[in-house]
Structure 1
Amino acid sequence: MPSSTVENYLKQILSISLDRDNREVAMGLISEALGVTPGTATSMVKNLEKEGWLTYKSRKGVKLTAPGRKLGMNILRRHRLLETFLVETLGLDWSEIHDEAEELEHAISEKVLERLDEFLGRPRHDPHGHPIPTKGGIIQKHICLSLLDCKEGMSVTIDSIDDQEKNFLKFARSRHVVPGNRIRILSREEVANAMELRIDGKPSFSIGFEAARKILVSF
C-alpha cells in the first residue's frame, strides 16, 4: 500500500499537470508546491520512477504513468470531497480546510468516500472552485485565465482560487473574492503593479499583480 508521502507527491504532480494541459511537470514546481528542497523532491521522484508511478527526465520534468495518474486522481478526489464536506457540513472556513483534508484523505475508505459523495449531492467543484474528479477518474477541464491577464474595464466571473495559503484565502473572503461572484477591473496601474477591482454591489479595493495571478476567472 503506498505511503501518504507517495500519495501526496502523485496528487500534487497531477494537480500541477492538469493546469499545464498534462505536460511534464518541472522539478522546481514540485518542490515549491510540496514545501521541500529541490534535492528532496528529486530523490523522491527517482524512487517513484523505480516503483513505476512516473517517468522522469532531468531536463524535461516528470510525467505520471497510467497507475500514477489513477492513484493521483483518486487522492485528488478524496481531498476535494473532504474539503467540500468540511465547509458545507461542518462549517469550517475555507482557509482552514486544506491541512485538515490532507490528514483525512489518506485514511478514508472507498466505501465511506462514496457515501460522502452521495451525501454531498455529488458536487462538481470544491469550495475553492476546483473540479472534483468522478469515481471513474474523469475530471472537468479547467478552462480559465488569470485575473492578471484581464484588461481594464472587463467584467469576469471568479472561477477558482489557485492558492491554499491561509492569509490569502482570508483576504479573498473578506473582499468577497469567491467562486461565482462577478468582478470588474476598474483600473490597472502597471508602474505600481496593482489593480483596482469591484465585486458587484461592494466597495472597490486594490490588489497586487502577484495576488491577481492567483485568481482564476472566466467570461
Structure 2
Amino acid sequence: MLTFAICSLLIAVWLMLAVWALQRKKRRDTESADDALKLIASLKLEHHVPTVARLGGIMGITPARMMHIIDGLLEQRWVQLNDEELSLTDDGRQRAVHLLRAHRLLETQMVHDAGMPLDQVHQRADRAEHRITEEQLTALNEHLGFPSYDPHGDPIPSSNALTAEDKAISLANWEVGQPATVVHVEDEPPSALRKVLAKGITPGQTLTVTARDEKQLTMDIDNTQHQLANTLALGVQVRPVAEQPSLMVVQPLSTLDVGQTGRIVAISPACQGFSRRRLLDLGLTPGTLITAQFGNLGRSATAYKVRQTLIALRQEQAKQILIQDTATIDQESSTLNYVI
C-alpha cells in the first residue's frame, strides 16, 4: 500500500514537471516568435532586408532553432518567406506594432511612474510585452499622456501603424563646435548604456563636442566637460539644435553657491514623469527666482528659498533644474529666448 502511494506521488510529480516544462517551452517559443516579428519590422523600417540568416545572427541562435521559429510564424500566417527574405503579413504587422508599442510604453511607465533607472527597463519590458493586451495598452497610453517617444528616444507607434524613425547622426561623427540635441540612446548592451548615462547623456539633452581624437571625444554638457569613448558615442544619435534668435547661457542649479540667486530657465528634458511633476508642484517653474540658503555636509542636499518657502533638493534633483545666475542677467535682455 505504501509503495503504491509513493509511486502515485512520483507519477503526479512527474506529470506536474512535464506540464510545467511544456508550458515553459511554449512560452519560450511564443517569446522567440514575437522577438522575430519585432526584428523583421525594425529591419524593414531601417531599409534592411530581413533574411533568416540575418535574424539568426542578431538573435544569437542556431540556424535550426531559427528555422523552427520561422516555421511557427509561417504556420500562424504572420510572415511570408520568399527565398531567404522574410516579409510580414497584415496580421504579422499588426502583432509587431502591438509588441513595439507595448515595449516602448512599458519602458516609459517604468521610468516616468516607477522611477526606474533607464538601464534597467529594457529587459523588464522585454519580458512583460508578450502578456499585455490591446485594451491594457490603450489605458496605459492614456495614463501616460499619449507620449510620442520612449525614454531611449524611440518613437512610440500608433495602434495601427509603424513609423519610420527620422534620420539622425551618430555622436561619433558629429562636427566639433556644433551644438546638438540627443534624440536616441541605444539600450543594449546595458553596460554601455550605463556608461553613457553616467555622462549625463539622455534624449532631449543638448551638448557640444569640443574636441575629438582617435579614442574619445570631449563634450560640453551644461557647462561641464565630459569625455566619452568613440565606441560608446556610436550608440548615441543626435540632431542639430533648432536655431533661435539668441541664446542664453544656462547652468544646473547644483552649481549655485550658498547665498547666490538664480532664475529658473527650465527643467531638463531628461527629467520626465513623476519626477518632473514633483519639481513643478514645488513651484520650480520658468522665471522663478531661487536662492541657495544652506547645504548639509558634503552638499549631498541643499535648502533653497523659493517664493518665501524653503525646500530641500538632493544634488541629483538640482542638476535637473537649469538656471541663469542673476549676477549675469542683463536687465535689458529680458526678451531673450531660452535654449536648453
Q: 2:204 aligns with which of 175, 180, 190?
A: 180
Looking at structure 1, the residues matched to 57 and 222 of structure 2 have their Cα atoms a distance apart, in angstroms, of 35
Deviates more, 1:29-38 or 1:169-178: 29-38
Looking at structure 1, the residues matched to 31 and 117 of structure 2 have their Cα atoms a distance apart, in angstroms, of 25
Question: Does 1:129 find its partner at 2:153?
Answer: yes
Q: 1:103 to 1:151 in 2, by over 3 A?
A: same
**Deviation per CA, 1:65-104, whole angstroms, max 9, x where unpaired?**
3322221111000010001011111111111111111111
Larger Rg: 2
How high is the sequence identity, in percent, across the aligned residues? 26
SS in 1 for 2:209: strand
Q: 1:198 aligns with which of 217, 220, 244?
A: 220
Q: Which runs of 5+ in 1 are unaligned?
A: none
Looking at structure 2, the residues matched to 217 and 58 of structure 1 have their Cα atoms a distance apart, in angstroms, of 37
Looking at structure 1, the residues matched to 229 and 185 of structure 2 have their Cα atoms a distance apart, in angstroms, of 14
Question: Does 1:55 find its partner at 2:80?
Answer: yes
**Deviation per CA, 1:122-160, whole angstroms, max 9, x where unpaired?**
111111010001122243633212222322222211000
Structure 1 counterpart of 2:104: 80
Structure 1 counterpart of 2:168: 144
1:95–1:165: 8 Å Cα contact kept in structure 2? no
SS in 2 for 1:76: helix
Structure 2 counterpart of 1:214: 235
Question: Does 1:35 find its partner at 2:57?
Answer: no
Looking at structure 1, the residues matched to 62 and 223 of structure 2 have their Cα atoms a distance apart, in angstroms, of 44
TM-score, L = length of structure 2: 0.57
Q: 1:182 to 1:27 in 2, by over 3 A?
A: farther
Q: CA deviation at 1:211?
A: 1.6
What is the count of residue pairs matched by the alignment? 213
Deviates more, 1:7-16 or 1:139-148: 139-148
What letter matches 1:195 in structure 2?
L
Structure 2 counterpart of 1:104: 128
Looking at structure 1, the residues matched to 196 and 119 of structure 2 have their Cα atoms a distance apart, in angstroms, of 10
Q: Which runs of 5+ in 2 are unaligned?
A: 1-25, 241-340
Q: CA deviation at 1:62?
A: 3.0
1:155–1:185: 8 Å Cα contact kept in structure 2? yes
Structure 2 counterpart of 1:13: 40
2:104–2:150: 8 Å Cα contact kept in structure 1? yes
Q: 1:140 to 1:124 in 2, by over 3 A?
A: farther
SS in 2 for 1:167: helix
Q: 1:29 to 1:203 in 2, by over 3 A?
A: farther
Question: Does 1:166 find its partner at 2:166?
Answer: no
SS in 2 for 1:171: helix
Question: Does 1:24 find its partner at 2:24?
Answer: no
> Which has the higher relative contact order, 1 or 2, with Cα contacts under 8 A spaced 6 or more apart?
1
What letter matches 1:188 in structure 2?
R
Across the aligned residues of Structure 1 and Structure 2, the Cα RMSD in angstroms comes to 2.4
SS in 2 for 1:218: strand
Q: 1:89 to 1:183 in 2, by over 3 A?
A: same
2:180–2:239: 8 Å Cα contact kept in structure 1? yes
Q: 1:104 to 1:206 in 2, by over 3 A?
A: closer
Q: CA deviation at 1:34?
A: 2.5
SS in 2 for 1:204: strand
Q: CA deviation at 1:179?
A: 0.3
Looking at structure 1, the residues matched to 37 and 131 of structure 2 have their Cα atoms a distance apart, in angstroms, of 16
